[in-house]
C-alpha cells in the first residue's frame, strides 16, 4: 500500500483559504462589499476621519485591502512561529448543546451591552459608546473629553470584560478560557515578532507618535496603553477570544470558519464608530459596510493567533495593546489630556 503524500505548505494554505467553501465565500463577500461601497459612495466617503482628510477616494478604498494583505502575511509568520505546536481549543469548550446555548446567550448579552453603550453616552452628554472611543486610530473633528474617555473605558471594562469573565470563570478554569500559556517562550516570541511587524506597519500609515515631544510621549504612551487596555483590549480578549472562540470551533469543527466568525464578531462589536455617519440611509449603509471592511481583518488575525497558541493573551499583547492602540493612539491621548 502506497504511503499517503503529505500535502505541501502551499496546498495546506490553499485548502484553508481560497479552496475552502467558507474562504471562497468570504472572498466573494469582500468583493461584493467593495462594489456596494463604490456604488453608494459615488466617489466620496462622508466619514469623520481626519487621518484620511484630503486623501484620494481610491486610496481610502484600498486601505482595507492593503490591511488585509498585511494581516494574511502576519498569519503566515504566526503559522511558521507556531509550526511545532499542537493546540485544539475546541476541547476547552463544553459539549455542543451547552456550547451552542452559551454562545447564543453571550452574543445576545454582548449586543444588549453594546446598545447600552449607545444609550449611555448621549444620556451623559457624550457620543454613543462602542468598542472604540471617538477618535481612535483615525482621529475626529471634535476629540473626546477626559470624562468621555474615562466613562467609556469603565463601561466597556465592566460590561464586556468583568461581567462575562466572572460568569464564565465560575464555571471554567483559566486554561479552558485560553488565559493560561502552555508554551510561554513560544508565546513570547509570537508577541514580540507580531508587535514589531505591526508597529512598523502602523507607523508607516500613522506616524503621528513620532511628532510628539519626549515629554509628551513619556506621558501619552503609557496612558494610551492603559486606557485602551481596559477600554477595548481586555473586553475584546475576554468576550470574543477567551469565551466565544473555543465554542465557535466546537460548533463548526473548522478553524477556517472559526477565524472568519471571530473576525465577524469583532466587526459586529464596532457597529457605531466615532467616525460613522447615520444622517441618511446611504450614509448608514456606507458606515456599516466600512465597519465590516475595517474590522473583519483585525478580528481574523486575533482569532488565528489564539487558535495557534491557545492563549488569548498573545493577540492582546502582540496585536492590540501596543500596536495599534499605543503606537497610533498616543497622539489622541496627548490631545485629549492637553499634554504640552
pLDDT of residue 12 exceeding 80: no
**How many CA atoms are closer than 13 Å to the CA of 125, on its beta-carbon side?**
4
Which helix or strand (DSSP H or E) is residue 202 part of?
A: helix 184-205
pLDDT digits (tens, 9 = 90+) for 179-201: 999 999 999 999 999 999 999 99
Cα separation, 168 vs 44, whole angstroms: 45
pLDDT value of position 4: 55
Mean pLDDT, residues 132-142 taken together? 93
Residue with more model confidence, 71 or 54:
71
pLDDT value of position 15: 76
pLDDT value of position 161: 98
Cα separation, 190 vs 145, whole angstroms: 36
Contact 274, 132 (CB under 8 A): yes
pLDDT value of position 83: 94
Note the Cα 117 to chain centre separation in Å. 18
pLDDT value of position 117: 96
Residue with more model confidence, 175 or 17:
175
3-state class of 237 per DSSP?
helix
pLDDT of residue 313 exceeding 90: yes
pLDDT digits (tens, 9 = 90+) for 263-276: 999 999 999 999 99
pLDDT of residue 320 exceeding 50: yes
DSSP secondary structure letter of residue 176: T
> How high does pLDDT run on average in the chain?
94
Indicate the pLDDT class of residue 164, thresholds 50, 70 and 90. Answer: very high
Of 331, 295, 324, nearest in space to 130 by CA = 295
pLDDT of residue 41 exceeding 50: yes
Of 192, 174, 229, 200, nearest in space to 305 by CA = 192
pLDDT digits (tens, 9 = 90+) for 66-107: 999 999 999 999 999 999 999 999 999 999 999 999 999 999
Contact 327, 318 (CB under 8 A): no
pLDDT value of position 5: 58
Residue 178, number of CB atoms within 10 A of its CB: 26
pLDDT value of position 53: 86
Cα separation, 295 vs 301, whole angstroms: 10
Of 133, 102, 93, nearest in space to 270 by CA = 133
pLDDT digits (tens, 9 = 90+) for 112-121: 999 999 999 9
Amino acid at each position: 500500500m502506497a504511503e499517503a503524500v503529505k500535502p505541501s505548505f502551499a496546498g495546506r494554505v490553499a485548502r484553508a483559504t481560497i479552496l475552502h467553501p467558507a474562504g471562497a465565500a468570504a472572498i466573494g463577500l469582500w468583493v461584493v462589499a467593495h462594489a456596494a461601497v463604490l456604488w453608494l459612495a459615488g466617489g466620496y466617503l462622508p466619514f469623520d476621519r481626519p487621518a484620511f482628510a484630503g486623501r484620494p477616494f481610491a486610496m481610502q478604498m484600498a486601505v482595507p485591502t492593503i490591511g488585509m494583505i498585511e494581516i494574511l502575511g502576519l498569519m503566515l509568520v504566526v503559522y511558521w512561529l507556531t509550526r511545532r505546536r499542537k493546540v485544539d481549543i475546541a476541547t476547552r469548550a463544553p459539549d455542543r448543546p451547552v456550547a451552542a446555548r452559551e454562545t447564543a446567550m453571550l452574543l445576545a448579552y454582548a449586543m444588549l451591552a453594546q446598545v447600552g453603550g449607545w444609550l449611555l453616552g448621549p444620556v451623559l452628554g457624550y457620543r454613543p459608546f462602542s468598542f472604540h472611543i471617538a477618535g481612535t486610530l483615525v482621529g475626529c473633528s471634535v476629540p473626546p473629553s477626559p470624562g468621555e474617555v474615562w466613562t467609556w473605558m469603565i463601561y466597556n471594562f465592566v460590561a464586556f470584560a468583568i461581567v462575562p469573565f466572572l460568569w464564565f470563570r465560575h464555571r471554567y478554569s483559566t486554561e479552558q478560557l485560553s488565559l493560561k500559556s502552555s508554551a510561554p517562550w513560544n508565546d513570547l516570541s509570537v508577541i514580540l515578532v507580531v508587535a514589531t511587524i505591526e508597529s512598523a506597519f502602523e507607523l508607516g500609515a500613522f506616524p503621528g507618535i513620532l511628532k510628539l515631544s519626549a515629554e509628551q510621549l513619556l506621558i501619552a504612551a503609557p496612558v494610551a496603553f492603559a486606557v485602551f487596555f481596559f477600554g477595548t483590549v481586555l473586553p475584546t480578549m475576554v468576550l470574543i477570544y477567551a469565551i466565544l472562540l473555543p465554542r465557535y470551533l466546537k460548533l463548526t469543527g473548522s478553524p477556517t470558519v472559526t477565524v472568519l466568525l471571530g473576525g465577524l464578531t469583532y466587526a459586529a462589536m464596532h457597529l457605531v464608530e466615532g467616525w460613522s455617519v447615520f444622517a441618511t440611509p446611504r450614509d448608514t449603509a456606507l458606515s456599516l459596510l466600512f465597519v465590516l471592511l475595517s474590522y473583519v481583518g483585525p478580528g481574523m488575525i486575533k482569532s488565528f493567533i489564539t487558535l495557534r497558541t491557545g492563549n488569548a493573551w498573545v493577540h492582546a499583547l502582540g496585536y492590540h495593546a501596543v500596536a495599534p492602540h499605543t503606537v497610533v493612539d498616543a497622539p489622541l491621548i496627548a490631545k485629549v489630556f492637553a499634554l504640552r
